[in-house]
Amino acid sequence: MEHNNITVSVVGSGYVGTTTAALLANIGIKTFAIDIDENKIAKLKSGKAPFFEAGLDALVAQGIASGNLIPTTSYQQAIPNSNIVMSSVGTPDNPDGSPNLDFVFSALDSIASFAKPELIYVQKSTVPVGTGQQIIDHFKTKNSSSKFSYVSAPEFLREGSAVIDSIIPDRIVVGGQNPDVNMQIADIFMTVFEQYKNIAGIAQIACPDSAQKPTIFNMNLESAELTKVTANAFLALKISFANSIAVLADTTGADVVEVMDAVGADNRIGRAFLNAGRGYGGGCFPKDVSGLISSADRYHVDMSIMSAATKINNSMSDYVVSRLTELVDDNDLKDKKIAVLGLAFKAGTSDVRKSPGIKIANKLAELEAQVSAYDPEANHEAQDDLDSKISLHNNYREALKSATAVIIATDWAEFSKISASEFSELMTGKIIFDAVNMLDPKDFSDMVYQGVGRK
Ligand code: UGA
């Protein structure tokens, strides 16, 4: 399908917004990337993404070179020329766990004052069910345009694999009051899929020779909103379930990886997101789970299943630290040198939001251990969140030097390449605490290997 005659504004240049804008520009759509942060816009103008994400710099550079990607801080420049606006501003959580929609509504106000009469307003940010209707009502008070349409088109990309997830999605979800308008938006994302090989080539990322066409789910507004949070909440639930079983495995001698390999082989269950470890972090799962709980509270619906998942998740970093304490001399971490490898909330990103690695490092520092930490991408981002007594290092060798124990807290491939003999040479102790269950215990038979739910 041709999209030559449309212009899109993508508001918010975070992971979702930047990826979306770069992809649209690369399928030939004139795309404004709007952000109020001048630094982000300057970075985009220079042909780079404002953060580390594999393949994205190349897509931004190509978008800028083609003239299709136009970064700007000016709503006035972009919105009057746009047929479609995609909103992907941040929705951080309030102290009570509910999502803070201030950015969503302030962007909406800026957009409403410049909007074309037939604007299609697409929501890509994760918002609680019911928000779309509030936005429709609010927009009408600011701009009485009778043809305004609203579509919820939730995003399922993961940080670290944002480009590949977006060009080969499992499904395209669109929800709104007019199924034909929903389909216009789904068509744009289907065009991205149809051109996935070309885009992967520009991004210089690996992609399969053939891929299953994503199914389009065209639904009502509230269903689309609820689909997004439900997907994230279910994945979080799987992780917390795996972690509960891991604790039981630790106390009974079972190996949670063996258990989950066998359980996950059941097609009805699936192996994905059953990896036990130090729990989930990041800008999405913790926030979306608490957002779902707060939506349920608002409508007096029992969502204690998700409160339990949160409670288990919050306990996992303490669990890791207490298991480590059992392994060190005198069961006391005070003055012991402990290396923490991995501060990003997962591999492939420099994002440290709600990072379990940081939580573990700070907990160790609180117990007066001497903590030396290292992350291949996130040292800089982690600095402000780390206890000032923690030393940060530029490589794992320095961090491991003379350590009694090491905790691996992020599943970076770099860490799986460290051999048992290299650990032994660098460290004075022998304790390898694999808090992401990424190593093969058999490779560490001369060391003291401890995973979460496995020895
Ligand atoms: C998540 C979802 O996977 C995406 O589909 C969704 O679009 C995104 O949130 C969002 O709402 O924007 P993301 O937060 O980037 O993506 O990261 P995930 O790969 O899902 O990992 C989340 C956390 O769970 C990480 O800390 C990871 O280490 C942890 N995890 C994941 C586990 O502890 N065990 C697992 O088996 C899988």
Query: What is the reported pLDDT for 143?
Result: 84
pLDDT over 70 at 10, yes or no: yes
Look-up: residue for tokens 């097609």?
A: 267
Contact indicator for 455, 434 with CB cutoff of 8 Å:
no
> Which of the listed residues 346, 352, 452 should we mutate to test ligand 1's pocket, taking the one with most ligand atoms within 8 A of CB?
346
Query: What is the reported pLDDT for 120?
Result: 97
203-246 residue pLDDT tens: 999 999 999 999 999 999 999 999 999 999 999 999 999 999 99
Structural tokens at position 185: 């938006």
Residue 7 parent element (H or E) = strand 7-11
371-421 residue pLDDT tens: 999 999 999 999 999 999 999 999 999 999 999 999 999 999 999 999 999
Q: Whose CA is nearest to atom 1 of ligand 1?
A: 158
Rounded distance from Cα 27 to ligand 1 centre (Å): 27
Q: What is the β-pairing status of strands 149-152 and 171-176?
A: antiparallel
pLDDT over 80 at 146, yes or no: no
pLDDT tier, 298 (very low <50, low <70, confident <90, very high otherwise): very high
| Cβ count near 189 (within 10 Å) | 23
Rounded distance from Cα 224 to ligand 1 centre (Å): 20
Q: How far apart are CA 354 and CA 101, in angstroms?
A: 19
What amino acid occupies position 151? V
Q: How far apart are CA 173 and CA 171, in angstroms?
A: 6
Question: Which residues on adjacent β-strands are paired with residue 72?
Answer: 34
Query: What is the reported pLDDT for 96?
Result: 87
Q: How far apart are CA 31 and CA 22, in angstroms?
A: 8
Contact indicator for 28, 3 with CB cutoff of 8 Å:
yes
pLDDT over 60 at 1, yes or no: no
pLDDT tier, 2 (very low <50, low <70, confident <90, very high otherwise): low
Q: What is the β-pairing status of strands 431-434 and 30-34?
A: unpaired
pLDDT over 80 at 3, yes or no: no
What residues are annotated to the active site? 284
Using the atom order of ligand 1, give the atom closest to the CA of residue 346. 28
Rounded distance from Cα 422 to ligand 1 centre (Å): 31
Query: What is the reported pLDDT for 51?
Result: 87
The candidate with the shortest Cα–Cα distance to 139, out of 87, 77, 182, is 87
Q: Which residues line ligand 1 (CB under 6 A)?
A: 126, 155-159, 232, 235, 239, 273-275, 277, 280-282, 284-285, 345-346
Using the atom order of ligand 1, give the atom closest to the CA of residue 274. 36
